[in-house]
Amino acid sequence: MRIILPEKLPPEAPEFENRPNGQAYAKDRIAVSATVAQKGRMTRHHFIAIAGAGIGGLTAAALLADRGHRVAVFDQFTSPKPVGSGLVIQPVGQAVLDHIGAGDTARRLGNPIQRMLGHEAENGRKVLNVWYNKRHGGQHGLAIHRASLFEAIYTAVKQRDITMHTQSCVTDARSGMVRLANGHAHGPFDLIIDSAGAGSPLSPLASEPLPYGAIWGTVDWPETSLPANQLTQCYRRADRMIGALPIGTMPGDSTPKAAIFWSLPRDGHAQWMADGLAAWRSEAIALWPAFAPFAEQITTQDQMTMARYAHGTLRQPWSSGLVHIGDAAHRASPQLGQGANMALLDALALARALDVATGDAALALYAKARRWHVMTYQAMSAAFTPQYQSDSRWLPVLRDRLLYPLSQVPPGPRALTAIVCGTMLPPLRGLGRV
């Protein structure tokens, strides 16, 4: 991999050397139908630009480089770095990480999660109880700090012949050209992949802002009675949600960490700042005493970062020569813990579609392979999120009195496990197994 800073490039300069692509991690194997495989004859190597070096973009870069495509990644950051706290990579997402050789590093740094458990603050009743694999204990969620996930994926990228353009804020992608905020233009490319996340300037997706977000922070995993293999949450109706997620370690630091979160109305951050830390701590500890050793580690308010969420899906995530993956194609609240998974699955579907088709046909194949999986998860996210994050009075009652008890009766537990694992539907329809 080589990193290119913008000042070294004259505008319109072709910036690629003709070097062979690294094949060291070409692990991904596709088992597709005969009809699709016949189209493989059309496959050729492309010259591909990727806008956004996040979870989906970097994974796509590695998968495509392994297939012999020439890949250039553009990101606005000064040096490659992750943003944010912890998340959970579900089993299907972990399988994609394995395809690029990033799974072992992610598993070494992250922490396996066997269960998600939530209770109502006012009466202590369980209202969420999902096991990954209660009986056999094999499959699990991988809770991980974003820095560790980034480290795992970026290490895989560095082992391949991928050109990385930092300080390169992409503003436009038309006619195969990538245009940057500094006036430079690069290309022409055969294909531009938009993986610039929820704020992508290349995506036509107009998403709907969700009424609730959350503040997130990272603390040391303390002396606590909470199990270190479980996401534990506490709710007051649907207008308060507190969580503690054991996320393993961060690069260069062997202390086990926790990601903690506290839901807030979308416009509630200024009020939270004005109320002060002491008020937040005492409210949090009164609602959930077990949260005390986590909350006590927050000594300044800037340790908690506000994240706001939006919901929306592109009907057609491509146009000629431009394709959207990850949050640029579909956004949802993190309630189901699927956003990173979706970005990873999109990257794999796109790479496999380019194995067996070319041009617009490949992009249409990618969209078709992902359509039902994405649509179903977006619909479930829209249905579940207000039960846990909204001002509704009746939804949490429905959740606690009807939906939770029903979810614990067979086949409820198994269905919940499949939803959380990302395997409710085949994630790559027609393009093989993950």
Positions that interact with ligand FAD (CB under 6 A): 51-57, 74-77, 84, 87-88, 169-170, 195-197, 199-201, 216, 307, 326-328, 334, 337-341, 343
Closer to ligand FAD by CB, 181 or 397: give it: 181
Q: Give me the DSSP letters along 364-402.
A: HHHHHHHHHHHHHHHHHHHHHHHHHSSS-SHHHHHIIII
Least Å distance between CB 53 and ligand FAD?
5
The residue count of the chain comes to: 434
Q: How far apart are the C-alpha atoms of 202 and 180, rounded to whole Å?
A: 12
Q: How far apart are the C-alpha atoms of 328 and 339, rounded to whole Å?
A: 11
Q: Which two tokens stand for residue 99?
A: 């395809």
Q: How far apart are the C-alpha atoms of 370 and 8, rounded to whole Å?
A: 39
- CB-based closest residue to ligand FAD: 54
Q: Which two tokens stand for residue 315?
A: 């009907």
Least Å distance between CB 185 and ligand FAD?
14
Least Å distance between CB 405 and ligand FAD?
26
Closer to ligand FAD by CB, 1 or 343: give it: 343
Least Å distance between CB 35 and ligand FAD?
30
Closer to ligand FAD by CB, 161 or 172: give it: 172
Closer to ligand FAD by CB, 189 or 358: give it: 189
Closer to ligand FAD by CB, 327 or 400: give it: 327
Closer to ligand FAD by CB, 122 or 208: give it: 208
Least Å distance between CB 160 and ligand FAD?
18
Least Å distance between CB 300 and ligand FAD?
19
Q: How far apart are the C-alpha atoms of 250 and 105, rounded to whole Å?
A: 11
CA dihedral 103, 106, 110, 114 (to 10 degrees): -20
Nearest to 90 by CA among 344, 388, 349: 344
